[in-house]
Chain A
Amino acid sequence: MSQTLTEKIMGRLAGRPVKAGDMVEIGPDWTFALDDGIGLIDQNFKRYGVKKLAHPERIRLFYDHYAPADTPLHALMHKIGRKLFDQFEIPREHLHEVGAGISHQIAVESGLVHPGNMVTNMDSHTITVGAVGAIGCGIGGAEMAYLWSEGKLWFRVPESIKIELTGRMPAGVAAKDIVLSILRSISARGAIYAAIEYHGEAIAHMSIPERMTLCNMGIEMGAKFAVVPGDAVTQAHFDRLNIKIAEMPQPDVDAQYVSHHKVDLSILEPLVSAPNKVDNVHPVGNFSFVRINQAFIGTCTNGRFEDFEIAASILKGKKIASDVRLVVTPASRQVYMQALTSGVLEILVNAGASVTTPGCGACAGMHQGVLAEGEVCISSSSRNFLGRMGHRDASVYLGSPATVAASALTGFITDPRTHLA
């Protein structure tokens, strides 16, 4: 039986060969939760009298959405999580405290998640772990509480979509522009219920951070998983971390895909997703008349060292427009330290940036850069839904970190190619 990568991974967990459309009851390798969901787990545990956890070793808790707490209620969620860990005697080092960063970033950069793993987390962007040949998906609170207690949960094995990348990106074009171009062509519902598998010769030339951006926005197309099968780049990532991994599972060459798309990277240009739909994607030049109030570089989509590095190359020795706020939020402490010691943060702060605690930051409109009525933000994040970053009459445009940095400089949405060093 020929199988996709997803079928192989879910089949391993099911203990039998599976194919798309099968229903399975499985225990994923990882069952993560976050500060914005731990309250629901606690509530379910109390309601159903849970006394014992099936697999404490598969549990990690990340404080990333409310870091640091901005309201007493959010502080209480942190307190509830710590208490839960004590109550069930889960090692405290499995609780990634305020300041550690975003769950998906930590899961990949620390080598926690391995190729061939399946990750569940109370966060839709868990799909990001696809960058290291793993499959990850978001689930809800009742489900995660059930999984922690019972160890198994029902899943449907998804069909897979093959996306083949060829050619090289021109200067000024980034992984974000690739994924925005895919969104434009297949739409926000183009991969609904399906798993995206990235293939093609161009993949071998893409770094783990770039692959994270590619996989991250798979959810914006409706995908359950988005994955880059493990290769030499993946192996080098774990070698660098001194982590030994088992053989990386691969899809069969004759695996069945429901559709097949090709993207030629050499003809891409910087793109922007306009409010309020993620697939409302157009060339950056279409928006040169749009005045911005805030520019945001951060998130699990584009809050990595390479993203700040490109922003710094555009902003070095310059000042952002006087009526613009530039908010910079490293995706993790490790990213923060790298940006700090390399001098990248110094360049950004000198240019006028505000640097906030590692975590999800302003992305979900809770804190650290919320928008007022009528305001406009250009953001390196993944969602521009109505009211996402604050007031319902604020607008969010999505672009690459380079596009965000160039826009911060001019005060208007700006093509980064005109500002490259």
Chain B
Amino acid sequence: MQVEGFAAVLGDDIDTDVIFPARYLAVLKPEDQAKYLFEPLGDAVRQKVLAGGVVIGGWNFGCGSSREHAVTSMIGANVRLVLAKSFSRIFFRNAVNNGLAVVISPEIVSAITEGDKIFADLQVGQASINGKALSFTPLPPEVLTILSAGGLWAAKSAQKNKEVKT
């Protein structure tokens, strides 16, 4: 799974209430959810995320609620990757199970500045910042299989197809 884009740098402890406010939880389609992504953080933040497609978080990215919308609204807004120093466990699970690429690397995050061109290959654990290569520890294979298939349900269909062929 390879992803690229330009860095939109946020900070530490970015919570699910600022990612996707609870009053829009009944909005179910990712493309509709995208309209409310980062609404509390204001238009400038929204615009840089939409333009760059790569969200850079600090420690504890996605803390708070279990709302999957925090992840799927990003997918709807064409965010390809969230790279953070650490993730809250629920956001991390939701990302994996809905097929949003996530990379955990305090070192890489510290080296990134606003607008940098970012590339990441999740299987091999390689990233680049403006062409400069850096490595990270890939996610566990069980998790990576689900993520790269496009999420939990997609991974199930892929597994079924494989069983039919063999």
Contact = CB atoms under 8 A, between A and B. Distances in A.
B66 A139 contact: yes
A385 B15 contact: yes
A41 to B, nearest CB: 10
B151 A142 contact: yes
Contact of A140 (B17, B60, B66): B66
B89 A192 contact: yes
A160 B15 CA distance: 23
Nearest to A69: B26
A73 B29 CA distance: 14
A386 interface: yes
B140 interface: yes
Nearest to A146: B152
A39 B21 contact: no
A146 B153 contact: yes
B156 A150 contact: yes
A143 interface: yes
A365 B93 contact: no
B126 interface: no
Contacts of B17: 364-365, 383, 385-388
Interface string A119-143: 0011110100000000001111111
B93 A143 contact: yes
Interface size class of B (residues with CB under 8 A): 35 or more
A192 B86 contact: yes
B98 interface: yes
B90 A124 contact: yes
A237 B151 CA distance: 41
Contacts of A143: 68, 93-94, 97, 152
A189 interface: yes
Contact of A365 (B21, B59, B97, B153): B21
B90 A366 contact: no
B49 interface: no
A95 interface: no
A19 interface: no
B78 interface: no
A176 interface: no
B66 A138 contact: yes
A183 to B, nearest CB: 12
Contacts of B25: 36-37, 65
Nearest to A277: B13
A192 B86 CA distance: 9
B71 interface: yes
Interface string B35-68: 0000111100000000000000001100111111
A28 to B, nearest CB: 14
B28 A43 contact: yes
Interface string B121-156: 000000000000000000010110010000111001
Interface string A373-397: 0000000000101111000100000
B23 interface: yes
A143 B153 CA distance: 9
B88 interface: yes
B26 A73 contact: yes
B22 interface: yes
Nearest to A392: B40
Interface in A32-53: 36-37, 39-40, 43-44, 47-48
A37 B59 CA distance: 27
Contacts of B67: 36-37, 140
A383 B64 contact: yes
Given A74-B26, A76-B26, A143-B94, A385 B64 contact: yes
Interface centre among A66, A71, A123, A364 (most CB of B within 10 A): A364
Contacts of A219: 64
A154 interface: yes
Given A141-B68, A143-B93, A385-B15, A48 B153 contact: yes
Nearest to A147: B152
Contacts of B140: 23
A40 B18 contact: no
A150 B26 CA distance: 24
A366 to B, nearest CB: 5
Given A140-B68, A277-B13, A23 B142 contact: yes
Contacts of B41: 386
B64 A222 contact: no
Interface in A354-371: 364-366
B73 to A, nearest CB: 12
Contacts of A122: 66
A140 B89 contact: no
B4 to A, nearest CB: 25
Interface of B: 13, 15, 17-18, 21-23, 25-26, 28, 39-42, 59-60, 63-68, 71, 86, 88-90, 93-94, 97-98, 140, 142-143, 146, 151-153, 156
7 contacts: A40-B68, A139-B66, A154-B142, A364-B17, A366-B22, A387-B21, A392-B40
Nearest 10 Cβ contacts at the A-B interface: A138-B66, A140-B68, A387-B40, A364-B22, A140-B94, A189-B60, A385-B17, A392-B40, A385-B15, A36-B25
Given A140-B67, A189-B59, 14 more contacts: A23-B143, A36-B25, A71-B26, A138-B65, A143-B93, A143-B94, A146-B156, A189-B63, A222-B60, A222-B88, A224-B89, A383-B17, A383-B64, A386-B15
